[in-house]
A = this chain, B = another copy of it.
């Protein structure tokens, strides 16, 4: 989706709209990388945790794509908005099919109930701007 055509492209600006828009993948990626860098440089235990996290998501008995879907539902269950965006981006990079992502989100919805709906709304909105996952939308 071109960033100049969607509701996100509205040039009017008001902080009250923070609930109704999702970050652009680019802005999110940069801010996340910047914040992680600051965490890593704040103590070796942070750095070690990031390494462990990376190891858990590496290829093994399960393919990376399945692990990213697992990370996605972990993120929804813990209501972690930025984690959801991150794993959606990773799913996009790993060429997980849109229908597979949606089925994982459905399991999260049934498992975690209607309180997950606001985060699912954002997940759908964020997906629409991703290169591969965004293509499937109507």
Binding site for B on A (CB under 8 A): 1-3, 6-8, 10-24, 27-28, 30-32, 34-36, 38-39, 41-43, 45-46, 48-49, 52-53, 55-57, 60-62, 66-67, 69-71, 73-75, 77-83, 97, 99-100, 102-104, 106-118, 120-122, 124-125, 138
Contact A48 B38 (CB under 8 A): no
Secondary structure of the A side of the interface? helix
What are some 17 contacts across the A-B interface (CB < 8 A)?
A1-B12, A7-B34, A15-B17, A15-B18, A17-B23, A19-B23, A20-B28, A20-B30, A42-B102, A45-B56, A56-B109, A70-B73, A71-B111, A73-B77, A74-B115, A82-B118, A113-B114
Interchain CB contact under 8 A, A97 and B61: yes
Say yes or no: A56-B107 contact (C-beta < 8 A), given A78-B112, A83-B114.
yes
